Structure 1
Amino acid sequence: MDRPNLPLNALRAFEVAARQGSFTQAAIELRVSQAAVSHQIKGLEDLLGVQLFTRTPKGLLLTDEAMALFPVINDSLDRVGRVLDGFLDGRYQETLHVGVVTTFAVGWLMPQLAAFRSAHPGIDLRIWTNNNRVDISKEGLDMAIRFGAGRWSGMETVPLMEAPLTPLCSPRLAEYLQKPADLHGHVLLRSYRADEWPAWFDKAGTACPNLCDPIFDSSIAMADISENGAGVALLSPAMFAERLETGRLVAPFPVQIETGRYWLTYPAHKPPTPAMISFQEWVLDWNSKESPQAAPKAGAIAK
């Protein structure tokens, strides 16, 4: 039996709709109308003789047939896209899209990018920052560096760097902090992880005050506010080494807590590209030189 000639536009519409879980979002990404997406999907269903989606109030559900088709189409289009992206200025470069939590990007990765590009001129590295909430598939990324315990469904995870937390503040404010209990009455800037300050006070051996101060989704913002003397933030010294070295921030107490670490993650179902392997090896090598807390090369991508 001859195989049907599958239209590429319909396959692309299917891949985006399945990834986004919505014809509306697919239309936005593809820059076409929702009706055009629906038409392409309907034509593909007629051609294959199967139903690919079930509409629900919460969005599209993939049928069993669609779940079998999606990873194949997704991987194939990604591979074609990566090759086409590589033809720049008459020479081939492999494009690598990496999502990075902003704190790590600013505090560690960005100062090292020139070294990476010098070592790997054949890789067009593109960085996309986030606040530690990232969906690799939906955002079209190859890999992501994020903070946590290393448990993300469907992800391969490679440990990068420990990042213990300790209070950081301006030198002037630090003059009033002789013991942990002196933090009571000062503005304690908080992240969305509510257990951090209680854990620190517990390790410091003193009661945690009633926490009602502002909550931030950016460690950079907390560092800026602390530097200006408007509060104390629980931050990673490794990510703000430059501010500590120049005296813009100080760590008034030696007590540190560990709540997670930075990880390099990528989808378990996708075979790693040469650029992904090169980036991981470079990050691990450079990090081991820079930090005594760098992780061993465990969980490395298999070549």
Structure 2
Amino acid sequence: MSLSNLPLNALRAFEAAARQLSFTRAGMELRVTQAAVSHQVKALEEILGVPLFRRLPRGLALTEEGEALLPVMSDAFRRIAGTLDRFEGGRLREVLSLGAVGTFVTGWLLPRLADFRAAHPFVDLRLMTNNNRVDLAGEGLDLAIRFGDGAWHGTEAARILAAPLTPLCSPEIAERLREPGDLMRETLLRSYRLDEWPRWFATAELAAPNIRGFVFDSSLTMAEAAVQGLGVGLLPGRMFGRQLRQGQLARPFAAEVTLGEYWLTRLKSRPETRAMAAFREWLLAEAAEG
């Protein structure tokens, strides 16, 4: 059967009536009369040569054919609506799926996103946060912002900025920290990268203590634990400027260690779209300005 023989209004009438199981409610949704919906559905049934509804004394029930047609029609109209919604200002907005480390999103990206939207209104940004473990292909991402050394198999990486790690803690704990050696008496909060504290102590010219205690897979969670006085976290201070300014966190020592940087990555096999290029150029320019 040719699609040209299927009237759009009849398909819309069927989809609404099938969801509502009522010609009356479908008519209210479509802003037409109950009789118009019934007429459109009957015309569709005649074209298809099968009944789509069983007319009951108190409503409607879908036939087997109607049950098969409903999800197809609902998906089709949803996709049409989604595409039409992307038209704005005489041009089609492009979807950009971005995965990013949650620490970077809250500490650096979010305060700048309004500027990106103003500069590139055609980009429909979809943002997913993670804890630095991301699968670009498996998660259907166009781009991902990661923390590390920039070497990920099959990806192209552009350096965004450095984020040295430094001890952060509550102001109450900071009051009793006079020199780095005082940390030996404190609970040291750890990430799953177990070499971080030993390398920081080496920078401070101290041997690292035997570190036991909480292990976190997110700097955001570790920072909140530090705010609540559970210990001292080794964190990218640049990403927690707001908490430092508000006095929720304190930085007792200047010593810091660089174990990685933030990178914008994409699969080498993924062609760069206009939206991807716009975000990359904007992001790197913002980072260059500090």
Residue type matched to 2:230 in 1?
A: A
Residue type matched to 1:124 in 2?
A: D
Q: Partners of 1:93 and 1:83 in 2: how far apart?
A: 14
Post-superposition offset of 1:214: 0.7
Q: Partners of 1:85 and 1:124 in 2: how far apart?
A: 12
Instruction: Give the alignment of 1:47-126 within 5 angstroms.
Output: 87-88=84-85, 90-91=87-88, 92-126=92-126
Instruction: Give the alignment of 1:217-296 within 5 angstroms.
Output: 217-289=217-289, 291=290
Kept after mapping to 2: 8 A contact 1:157/1:266: yes
Among the aligned pairs, what percent are the same residue? 49
What does the per-residue CA deviation read over 1:247-282, in whole Å, with 9 as the maximum and x for residues that have no partner?
Answer: 211111110000000000001012100100000111
Q: Partners of 2:176 and 2:184 in 1: how far apart?
A: 11
Kept after mapping to 1: 8 A contact 2:86/2:94: no
Q: Which has the larger radius of gyration?
A: 2
Q: Partners of 1:85 and 1:282 in 2: how far apart?
A: 26
Q: Partners of 1:90 and 1:203 in 2: how far apart?
A: 54
Post-superposition offset of 1:86: 5.0
Question: Deviation above 3 Å: which 4+ runs of structure 1?
Answer: 82-87
Post-superposition offset of 1:85: 6.0
Q: Partners of 2:81 and 2:274 in 1: how far apart?
A: 16
**2:151 corresponding residue in structure 1:** 151
Classify the secondary structure of the residue corresponding to 1:173: helix
Kept after mapping to 1: 8 A contact 2:87/2:93: no
**2:193 corresponding residue in structure 1:** 193
**1:177 corresponding residue in structure 2:** 177
Classify the secondary structure of the residue corresponding to 2:129: strand
What does the per-residue CA deviation read over 1:28-63, in whole Å, with 9 as the maximum and x for residues that have no partner?
Answer: xxxxxxxxxxxxxxxxxxxxxxxxxxxxxxxxxxxx
Aligned residues: 209
In structure 1, runs of 5+ residues without a counterpart are 1-81, 292-303
**2:134 corresponding residue in structure 1:** 134
Classify the secondary structure of the residue corresponding to 1:184: helix
Q: 1:226/1:244 Cα in 2 relative to 1: closer, same or farther (>3 Å)?
A: same
Kept after mapping to 2: 8 A contact 1:142/1:266: yes
The TM-score with structure 1 as length reference comes to 0.67
Q: Partners of 2:83 and 2:199 in 1: how far apart?
A: 47
Post-superposition offset of 1:87: 3.6
Kept after mapping to 2: 8 A contact 1:87/1:93: no
